[in-house]
Amino acid sequence: MSFTVFLGNLPVWVTADDIKQWLSAEDLVADSVKVIRNHETQESKGFAFVEAPTPDEMQAIIRRFDRAPLEDKVLRANPAQPSKGAVKGLPAPAGAGSGPRSAVQRPVGAGVSAAGGAGRPERSRGGKKREHEPKSAFATELAKVL
pTM confidence score: 0.58
Per-residue tens of pLDDT for the chain, all 146 residues:
679 999 999 999 999 999 999 999 999 999 999 999 999 999 999 999 999 999 999 999 999 999 999 999 999 999 999 877 755 555 544 443 333 333 444 444 333 333 444 444 444 445 444 444 545 565 666 556 55
Which regions of the chain carry the CATH code 3.30.70.330?
3-101
Distance CA 13, CA 10 (A): 8
First and final C-alpha spacing in the chain: 34
Fold of 3-101: Alpha-Beta Plaits (3.30.70)
Strands 3-8 and 32-37: unpaired
Nearest to 72 by CA among 12, 128, 114: 12
- Cα–Cα distances (Å) from 8 to 1, 5, 117, in that order, read 22, 10, 13
